[in-house]
Amino acid sequence: MHAAVITRPGPPDVLQLRDVPMPAPGTEQILVRVRASALNRADLLQRRGGYPAPPGSPADVPGLEYAGEVAALGPGARLWKEGDRVFGLTGGGGHAEYLVVHERTAARVPDALSWAEAGAVPEAFMTAHDALWQANARPGETALVHAVASGVGLAAVQLARAFGLRPLGTARTASKLEAARALGMHAGLAVDRATADDPTGLGETLAAFVGAHVEGHGGARGGAHVALDLVGGAYTAATLHAMAPLGRLVLIGLVAGATAPLDLGRILRGRLTVRGTVMRARPLEERIATAMRFGDEVVPLLASGAVRATLDRTFPLGEIAAAHELLESNATVGKVGILIE
């Protein structure tokens, strides 16, 4: 089969399309003929040599999400039949013509979705949905989403709105905020470079922004009840200033850095919860539970059109290096898709 292979750590041109052995499904696994996938920041890190694949996943074939058809069943697999359209998350190997996954980590692709749309769903919507679930997000609450124009950010806005929350968001440019506003974001804040590099100023700016948009909408002391932080670094520390008492912050990404000084007194006084989350390295039992909640609560929304994947651009597998270059430019809104026809 054809696969995008990381030939050595380095820039996008280290990715090459090569013939590699086709995997065989094991016990309770299914073989999927992949039709589409999408890029994630983890793919960029893996290509550079900074984010190795977890045990059991291909070390040199990236790709954390997939959409395709069931091609074969392994021993004991009985939930699917050949030809079923499925999608989900994987530890790696999604940028290839075939991959194997545990049958209970897959969900059914709604008939209304094209392959390109389906391939752009799993990582964004599973991550956002799982983060809202971990935050115990409830109708009527305010949710603050950083990097709101990313794939996860746009999914989070739509899900928050669908679940009865009031989504606010931040991005680096006003044009990116417009994309989120079109999908249901109530209000957005463009954070310029100078503000982002000043933790104190960023905290004051976030607090003022959130406070201005929760007045009269259940925001205790003008703060957000839930924050999904896809940025990390100074954003994490600054977001504490914008939280309501008993607020829950879920840290999802670290593009702005892996360290930050936190005001522990603010966490104590506000009785705040700060929680980190990852998807790729979870044990099988947790991945199954995540997929089941996604299938029960998000897939019906995708099927009805209440929420949808947002694609910035789609590339064929043979042009995956160009897709990596585009994602690295930070100019995208939503997902960069990969078609594997």
| Tens-digit pLDDT profile for residues 222-237 | 799 999 999 999 999 9
The pLDDT assigned to 341 comes to 87
Assess whether pLDDT exceeds 90 at residue 97: yes
Q: How far is the C-alpha of 225 from the C-alpha of 244, rounded, in Å?
A: 5
The pLDDT assigned to 218 comes to 53
Q: Do the Cβ atoms of 99 and 90 come closer than 8 Å? A: yes
The neighbour count for residue 13, using CB atoms within 10 Å, is: 11
The arithmetic mean of pLDDT across residues 50-76, rounded, is 96
Region at 330 (left for phi over 0; alpha for psi -120 to 50; beta for the rest)? left
Assess whether pLDDT exceeds 70 at residue 191: yes
Q: How would residue 17 be classed by pLDDT, with cut points 50, 70 and 90?
A: very high
Q: Average pLDDT, whole number, for the chain?
A: 96
The pLDDT assigned to 228 comes to 98
The arithmetic mean of pLDDT across residues 142-150, rounded, is 98
Q: Strand pairing partners for 337?
A: 38, 314
The arithmetic mean of pLDDT across residues 6-24, rounded, is 98
Assess whether pLDDT exceeds 90 at residue 118: yes
- For the chain, what's the residue count? 341
Assess whether pLDDT exceeds 70 at residue 216: no
Q: How would residue 289 be classed by pLDDT, with cut points 50, 70 and 90?
A: very high
Assess whether pLDDT exceeds 60 at residue 78: yes
Given this structure, which CATH class describes domain 2-121+280-339? Answer: alpha beta
Does the pTM surpass 0.85? The reply is: yes
| CATH 3.90.180.10 domain span(s) along the chain | 2-121+280-339
Residue matched to tokens 């991005």:
171
Assess whether pLDDT exceeds 60 at residue 291: yes
- Computed from CA positions of residues 45, 148, 280, 82, in that sequence, does the dihedral angle turn out positive or negative? negative
| CATH 3.40.50.720 domain span(s) along the chain | 127-276
CA angle 226, 228, 229 (to 5 degrees): 130
Fold adopted by 127-276: Rossmann fold (3.40.50)
Six-digit token string for 311: 């694609």
Q: How far is the C-alpha of 311 from the C-alpha of 280, rounded, in Å?
A: 22
The arithmetic mean of pLDDT across residues 189-212, rounded, is 92
Q: Burial of 181 by CB count in 10 Å (0-12 exposed, 13-18 middle, 19+ buried)?
A: middle
Which distant-in-sequence residues (6+ apart) come within 8 Å of 197 by Cβ? 234
Assess whether pLDDT exceeds 70 at residue 178: yes
